[in-house]
Structure 1
């Protein structure tokens, strides 16, 4: 290897996880996972646009992150309402000049037996987990294509998209849809240099899963399947998000990375 090539290679290794100066749009930013990702990206030097349905929570989070020296802004919007998504994407471009990273961490669940779950609840879960993801991919992806500099799209899936579960006839299919959306978009956007991947967490501490932390039987059942011996904390999610947003993952697209402590291994 020539000296110049060695220097260039060393420089790449030193910067391969660098996302400094990039603009990240994070949906569901006030949820535990979204907040952890937003803070992690900000600490790593990215500019972060926070979005979600609660202005009060977004404002509080933005002030908290700004106090830590993170460059961020927020835009209120429902991920399942097309007009809101268009506006949030436009505000992101107007504020930061473009979009380099999209993380769709907005979502919901309401476990119930199919025989007693109203159709309206099923549709709400599908709207939050599938439609909202599709809309943000559509409009943020359009920005990335038009920018002509590639991009990183990270969809939040779940181990439940791989495995069924009692009372999960809405949530599990919704996450399976996210996995296949990931593959389809990777095929569609590869020519533009846009990488599309998903992260599939197991049970992480959040508003959606607090019932599992509180239910001794459910928690013990999950722990018997997790080689790491514990449930996930939001901080466990950040490393994979930085990896998939950086040059280190440039040749990875169309896959779901499971951050599950080995849950799917057994």
Structure 2
């Protein structure tokens, strides 16, 4: 029934526990801050203790309840440790956001197999491992859950020198759809992706120069008329963590300024 109580709770995420991988990156940090200020408890994870601890301190300074645990998302033992640390600190996990990833664009004939495997391990294996062990925890809890996999607009559009990244992100889209079939009806766990285009980070800052030909050419493909900012992804992540998205699973959510439309 649509009433005042229903509407008040529709986007309410207060008290939920979120585990965010790649939390110290531009997108992961924005999601951590957004979730925390919306009243969620946030578990920060990444490879480096100093950056994870610094982010957790920054969140706590804003009144956000958080913790951190370090590990490589592509290493099974590390993932198990992070999941266990999250449950030990907060008692449960309600939301998973996998924003850890890696890319190294190169022509296929020049790229070493080891580099391609590094892309696949970081982007695909790491996502799969977190889905496996957080999913196991959510199933054990018996309360459902929300799983948000960070994919890319490149998951459905090829690009020269991107045989690793495009392949990896296409796999993440299909992973979400497969898990939706596996989990949603049986366990009430919704699994969706967000698919961003270029957004501002330390690695992409050079692309935001309005005088740059790269910037001008890229803007021709974006109907919204600008590149993405980290805060542009907080809204979709709140939506996918809330009951407002309860009837959505297996979806690939374009967070791309219209890139797929052009």
Shift of 1:212: 3.4
- RMSD, matched Cα: 1.2
Shift of 1:166: 1.1
* 2:224 corresponds to 1:240: no
- The answer to whether the 8 Å contact 1:109/1:208 transfers is no
Where do 1:7-156 residues align within 5 Å? 9-156=3-150
1:130-162 per-position Cα deviation (integer Å, ceiling 9, x unaligned): 000000000000000010000000000000001
Q: For residues 126 and 212 of structure 1, what CA distance do their matches in structure 2 show?
A: 25
> In structure 2, which of residues 248, 256, 259 is the aligned counterpart of residue 260 of structure 1?
256
- The answer to whether the 8 Å contact 1:195/1:253 transfers is yes
1:110-138 per-position Cα deviation (integer Å, ceiling 9, x unaligned): 11111111111111010110000000000
SS in 2 for 1:204: coil
Match of 1:177 in 2: 171
Q: For residues 211 and 184 of structure 1, what CA distance do their matches in structure 2 show?
A: 37
Name stretches of at least 5 consecutive residues in structure 2 with no aligned partner.
none
Match of 2:194 in 1: 199
Shift of 1:10: 1.4
- The answer to whether the 8 Å contact 1:79/1:85 transfers is yes
Shift of 1:208: 4.2
Shift of 1:209: 3.1
Q: For residues 218 and 194 of structure 1, what CA distance do their matches in structure 2 show?
A: 40
1:173-194 per-position Cα deviation (integer Å, ceiling 9, x unaligned): 1000000000000000011000
SS in 2 for 1:74: strand
Q: For residues 240 and 86 of structure 2, what CA distance do their matches in structure 1 show?
A: 21
If the length of structure 1 is used for normalisation, what is the TM-score? Answer: 0.95
Q: For residues 206 and 124 of structure 2, what CA distance do their matches in structure 1 show?
A: 23
Match of 2:157 in 1: 163
Q: For residues 134 and 142 of structure 2, what CA distance do their matches in structure 1 show?
A: 13
Q: For residues 50 and 212 of structure 1, what CA distance do their matches in structure 2 show?
A: 28
Q: For residues 126 and 13 of structure 2, what CA distance do their matches in structure 1 show?
A: 25
Q: For residues 14 and 89 of structure 2, what CA distance do their matches in structure 1 show?
A: 17
Name stretches of at least 5 consecutive residues in structure 1 with no aligned partner.
none
Give aligned pairs, total: 260
Shift of 1:211: 4.8
